[in-house]
Amino acid sequence: MTIPSFHLFVQTLILGGLVGGVYALMASGLTLIFGVMRVINVAHGAFLILGAYITYELFQYFKIDPIASILITMPVFFGAGWLIQRYMLSRIANPEQTSVLVTFALALVLEGILGFIFQTTARMVTPSYTSDAFIFATYRFPVTRLIGFGTALLIILLLYLILQYTNLGRAIRATTQDPRAAQLMGINTSMISAFTFALGLSTAAAGGSLLSIIYSFNPSSQADWIARTLSIIVLGGMGSIPGALIAALTLGVMEQMTSIVVTLYWSPIVFYFFLFFTLIIRPQGLLGEIIREKG
C-alpha cells in the first residue's frame, strides 16, 4: 500500500477518467441492444476486436488514420448488424433466453476466424502521435487517450440525441418500454430491433478503433473486453446509457487508482468487489429500472 502524492492522485484520476470514456463507448452499444431487445450480445467483445483489426489493416496498408477509419468501420458494422439481426437473431424462437447461446457462438466463430487470419500475436495501431501527451498545469493527457475520450463522448452524445429527439429514437424508447404497446401504436418493432442492433454494433466498430490505439490486442482479447463491458452495463443498470457512462468512468478510475495504491494485480479484484457490493444494495444497478416480467 502506498499513499499517492496529490499530484499523482490527480494524474491517476485523469488517466482513469480518459480511459473510462472509451469504456463507456464500448459498453453503450451493448446496453442499448439489451434495452430494446432484451438480448445480451455476447459477441460484442469479438466485434470490438474485429473493429480493432480492421483499423489496424487500414492503417498498415492504406495509412488511414485510426480515428478517420471510424467513418469506414461504423457503416460496415451497421450493415453487418442489420443482417445479423434480420437473418439470425430475429429467427430465434425465444430470443430472451436463447440469444445468449447464439451470440456466444458468434463470438467463438469470430475469435476462431480472427485467430486463423491474424494468429495470436499482439497488435497495436501506432500513429505518429502515439507517444505524445498534452500538458495542462503539469498534468499529462496522453494524446491517444484524449482523442479516444473525445471521440467516445461525441458518439455517445450523438446516440443520446438520436434517442431523445428523433422520431426514430422515440420509437426505440417506446419499444424498450413495452414492445407490444409500441407495436399497437403502429411502430414496426422488428425494424426497430434491426436498427438498434445495427446501431449497437456500429458503436462497437468505433470502440474497436479507439481500442486499437490505446491497447494492444489479439483475438483472445475479446474475452477480456466482453467481461469488462458486461460488468459496466450491469453496474450502470442494464439498458441505461447514462448508467453505462457513470459505471465506465467508475471502472476506469478504480482500475488506475488501485494499481497506484496497491498493484496492478488488484485492479480487477477491487472492481468486482465494488460491483457485487453495489448489486447487493441496488440489484437493478446504478441507473437501471427494475424489469417486471410481462405476462
Partner 1 sequence: MNSKIWKLVIGIALLSLLITACGSAATPQAPTAPATTAPVVTEAPSATSEPPIKVGASLPLTGNFSAPGTAAQKGYQLWADMVNKSGGLLGRQVEFVIYDNASNPDTAVADYERLITQDKVDLVVGPFSSKLVIPTSEVAAKYGYAFPEPAGGAPNVFNRGLTNIFFAQPAPSVDQAIPFAKYVLSLPADSRPKTFAVITGDDPFSVSVVESVQKLLTDGGLTMVLKEVYPADTKDFSSLAAKVADKNPDLIIGGTQFEDSVGQIKAYQQAGYQPRGAMFTTGPSLPKEFSEALGTATEGVFAPISWFEASTIKTNPEFVKAYHDKYGSEPIAEDSANAFTVGQVLQQAVENIQSVDNAKLIEEMHKATFTTVVGPLSFDALGQPKGSFMVLQWQGGKIVIVGPDYAKQADPIWPKPQW
Nearer to partner 1 by C-beta: 216 or 278? 216
Name residues whose C-beta falls within 8 Å of residue 259's C-beta, 6 or more positions apart in sequence.
266, 267
Binding mask 258-287 for partner 1 (x = CB under 8 A): -xx--xxx----------------------
Residue 131 C-beta: closest distance to partner 1, Å: 4
Name the grid cell of 50: 474485429
286 neighbors 237 (Cβ within 8 angstroms): yes
Which of 216, 223, 286, 289 is close enough to bind partner 1 by CB under 8 A?
A: 216
- Which residue is it, cell 497488435? 123
Nearer to partner 1 by C-beta: 78 or 141? 141
Length of the chain in terms of residues written: 295
Nearer to partner 1 by C-beta: 143 or 191? 143
Nearer to partner 1 by C-beta: 44 or 145? 145
201 neighbors 78 (Cβ within 8 angstroms): yes
Of the candidates 160, 146, 157, the one whose C-alpha atom is nearest the C-alpha of residue 19 is: 146
Q: Which residues pair with 134 in a beta bridge?
A: 141
Decide if residue 228 touches partner 1 (CB under 8 A): no
Q: Which residues pair with 136 in a beta bridge?
A: 139
| Distance in angstroms (rounded) separating the CA atoms of residues 67 and 83 | 25
Binding mask 66-95 for partner 1 (x = CB under 8 A): ----------------------x--x----
Name the grid cell of 251: 471502472
Q: Which residues bind partner 1 (CB under 8 A)?
A: 4-5, 7-8, 11-12, 15-16, 19, 88, 91, 102, 105, 108-109, 111-113, 115-116, 119-122, 126, 130-133, 135, 140, 142-145, 214-218, 221, 255-257, 259-260, 263-265
